[in-house]
Every structure is written in structure tokens, then in C-alpha cells.
Amino acid sequence: MTISAGIQPQVQPKNYLTINQLNHSYRAGKPILKDINISIEQPGIIAIIGPSGTGKSTLLRCINRLITPTTGEILFQHSDLVKVQGKALRHLRRQIGMVFQEYNLVERLSVIENVLTGRLGYMNAWQAWRRKFLQEDIDRAFELLHHVGLTDFATQRADSLSGGQRQRVGIARALMQNPHILLADEPTSSLDPKTAVEIMELMDTLAASKGIPTLVNIHDVKLAQRFAKRIIGMSGGRIVYDGPAQGITDSHLKEIYGGESWLV
């Protein structure tokens, strides 16, 4: 799908995700997340910025229920992710794509097999164990490899790829889930500047073409401003800025990161 530059389709607000009064502590009395409130009603990239240790990764892990929040609610697909368990939770989690900082690929498997693992949440245990994928899923996996520019690498082992190529495989795998929302935890932190821009361009294009919101934890503020429609700035486990990417100022950045000697 080709997206014409400068043409932005009119998107009606939709309740993709609502987070209310979310708190999380790994140890009693030491909260990592403090009264987080976020409403996501538009597709596209939303960048989450803030210093290390402020809870950005914890927030994403709460959203996809890799961890269970201490208190609060996460409303997604008419359910509260904090409360659901078992089969209902598995059903909801397969609709939340995740791109990991360290790629999280199965190194000994081929690129196409890694992409196909994005369908495991839709298969029964016997099918998953045998990796018995439907032909339509295989066709879809090859289509996604084409979109991320890795068609020629389909049969190569994952451990033979560069960092940027591995991250592209991770993005394709997440999209194999047909997610309603995509989460990306520091997807560019291990990449050189050129490759980091390419990965952000890819996620921006795919988020627009699929019509889904993409929450990206990112340290590079300029990269966030370049690609995100909205920036959420966190400091000390709280949200201290939530607004347009181009609306963030040096004053906001000082509040988020503290000090000013690092500002250019």
C-alpha cells in the first residue's frame, strides 16, 4: 500500500486503549508507575520519552500483561486487562503486538519461521507444537517480509542477520498477530543512526497503512519528534507531558529529564 506524502486521511476518534489511575510497584512502598492516565483514540506513532528507570518499559509490560499492575485499569477491547485471566487474557494479548529491544527471535529458526510464530496465539497446542501453519498464514508471512524488505532472507537463520534486519523480522512477527495496537520497547537503541531512522520510518508507514496506534519507548527525542504525532513524557514514574510532538519545548524536556547541560 502506498501512502501519498502530505495526504492525511480523516480518522474518526476510536477508543483503542484507555489507562486509568495505573500504579505498579515491584517492592512495597516503592512505586515505579504513579497514577498513569492515558487515552489512545488515533492510529499512528505515540512516543514515550523519559530517563532510564522512570517506568517506560514497565508501562508497556503492564499493557501487554507481561506483568500485572498493582492497581488501576487498562481498558482494551471492552475488557479490563488488569482483571482478565486465563483464556480471556490469552485472547486479548494476541491482539497486542510487541516489538522487543533485544529482538527476542528464535535464533536457530529461519526468518520466515520467526515471522510465523506471530500466529501461535491463534493455534491449539498440537498445531503450535508441530508448527502446522495454514497456507494463508504462510502467504501472509511472505507478504509481510516483502513489506519490511526481507523477501530474499526468508530461509536464512535469524542469527545470520544484522541488528536492523532482526528488528524488521520482529516487526513483521508482531504484525502477523493482526494486532489492534502495537508496542515497541526501545526498538532503535541497539541500532546505528541510519538504521534507527529506517526502523522508525517502517513503523510509521505500517502504523498508518494498518490504521493502528503504535506506542514506542524511545530515548532519542529528535527521532521521537520526527516520527511521532504525540509525545508522552515521563519523569519519576509520572506523566509530566502529554501532547503534540512539535509542542514539546526545552522547558518540558528539563522537567522530564532534569538539568539543562545536555540540551543542544
pLDDT tens-digit series, residues 92-115: 999 999 998 888 899 999 999 999
Element (H, E) at 96: strand 96-99
Does some domain include residue 264?
no
The answer to whether residues 82 and 68 touch, using CB atoms and an 8 Å cutoff, is yes
User: Would you state the pLDDT for residue 133?
Assistant: 84
Does some domain include residue 9?
no
The mean pLDDT value for 3-18 works out to 61
CA distance 191 to 194: 8
The CATH number covering residue 211 comes to 3.40.50.300
Does some domain include residue 7?
no
The mean pLDDT value for 157-168 works out to 94
Q: Which domain holds residue 212?
A: 17-257
Q: Which residue has the higher pLDDT, 13 or 121?
A: 121
pLDDT digits over 134-150, tens only? 899 999 999 999 999 99
Q: Which three cell numbers stand for residue 181?
A: 495496537
Does some domain include residue 263?
no
pLDDT digits over 164-221, tens only? 999 999 999 999 999 999 999 999 988 999 999 999 999 999 999 999 999 999 999 9
Does some domain include residue 207?
yes
Domain count, the chain: 1
Does some domain include residue 6?
no
